[in-house]
Structure 1
Amino acid sequence: MSTSPNQEFTEKVLKAYSDIDNPRLKSVISILIKHLHACVKEMRVTDQEWEFAWDFMKRMAEKTSPLGNEFLFFADVMGLSQLIEILNHGEQEQPVGVALLGPFFRADAPFRERGASIASDDAPGARVRISGRVFEFESNAPIEGAILDIWQAAANGLYENQDEQQPDYHLRGRFRTDKNGTFELIALMPTTYRIPDDGPVGEFLKIAKRPPIRPAHIHVIVSAPGYETLVTQIFVKGDPDIEDDVVFTASQNMVGDFKPEGDAFRLTYDFPLKRGISTMPKAPIPA
């Protein structure tokens, strides 16, 4: 059976990349070429559409800065970032869900004392005292010295790196567990906010009639030597935006019960870790 000119061309491109030494890279490039070519063939992309596509990517590059990575935003709103997390870490038996890292994680947040607040004294918003336990998933044994890297948006919906009015590393901090695997800290009651939608990704969301809303949440990375790092988020029980999270991350296995306690709130939340290789994700925002 003869092959079509289109298929012959794809085979020519595949052959051009067949001498890559790294087997994993060779496999990734080969699969990428096959799927990209198949996608273009199925869509029958016109010259004008291709011009729009590369101009869209050019504008994404121009929008990318230390304040945010537009390419990462695009991967987030297309569900790619969360899918990668699920494929790599989303074991069904894990009671705490895995989440995308998000574009606002900043490296080297300061270590804070047990019970300390990540919010400045004059930061608007109700406080929530968060406590819990980090333990080994299989044995339930406490994990001493585990590190919880916490960050969140302010009451105005902006992260510290987006807002000149916030102090350096505001609403960010790292905490260590004690010998019983427990931790305690104070944060702001999380706030629903809009993702930055003043760039090409925002245009795309408007066309799709999707609101650029993230439900209220707090970001957490939990790590310890000899254990697989857990990247997750804590959402507020009853938040109506959970089902329509613009980046497809919010789910019921990442929901916390924020209970009123006087003029503040209280949250108890545990983090089980599975044995594995301890790695930290690369921060989109440098220290």
Structure 2
Amino acid sequence: MMDKYDCIVIGAGPAGLSATLTLGRARRKVALFDNGTNRNRVTHESHGFLTRDGIKPKEFKDIAVKQLESYPSVSISNETVIKVIKDVQRDLFLVNTSNNKSYITEKILLATGIQEEFPLLQIRQYYGKSLFSCPYCDGWELRDKPLAIIAENDEHIIHMTKLVFNWSKDLIVFTNGHQLSNKVRNDFESKKIKVYTEVIKNLHGDNGNLESIELESGENILRSGGFVVPSFYRPNKFAEHLNCQVDENGGIITDSAGRTTVIGIYIAGETEKAGPSSLMIAAADGNKAASSINMDITLDRF
């Protein structure tokens, strides 16, 4: 007979790790599943997390896992969850993994995060080392350098350019074929921000360090780093398959405390809004969702 868990947490990013810690300290039997695909694995340093500013993502995760080992009711498995099935009759969930193993739990916390899609495939070679998506996370390290803004959507271009201008005044915007309105171009030019609307042909650099951006015309513009605006997506459809309600923007509807519209299914971190979040906020979301899980179990059993 399979062991029954109080909660299974899927995803060991900051949200999942934080939730597991809270549940372990609440003496709940919890299993944490992770397959090592968390989004920040490609970056060399993580910033903005109080007492851990500049830590390597792997070190951050290793410290968290080591601390979780202090709690005997917590187990950690490096397995990929491929399916979650709701057993309506028993009011439980069946979790299947790629290792052909199955687990039973009362509650599920989805903390699988999101992944990026870039306007140029080449960006992946530089992402996390000289090209980034979050100025709050990496703007300080790129301060005062000649930077590129690579984005294709008016709203994204305006937002990112204005934001990055706080860290460096030496900016050039690359829209990769997208045309900007005269007003936006004039606003940028008044700040001495040049705009190239040509399609980008190539990125040049060495070992992940950007050196220049080549346009279709053959012109090469020297840049030593910059910021891109990717699109984001959830790497799985667990929430949808479990009939959790989703809003018009693809976000999963919650009560703001981690509870979805399906009893027993909770969500935390970037998974909820399908948008980026800082380590600090994701960890706080995990703590909040775990508190909801613990309270619901308490009320169910008292």
Greater fraction of residues in strand:
2
Q: TM-score, normalised by structure 1?
A: 0.23
Q: TM-score, normalised by structure 2?
A: 0.22
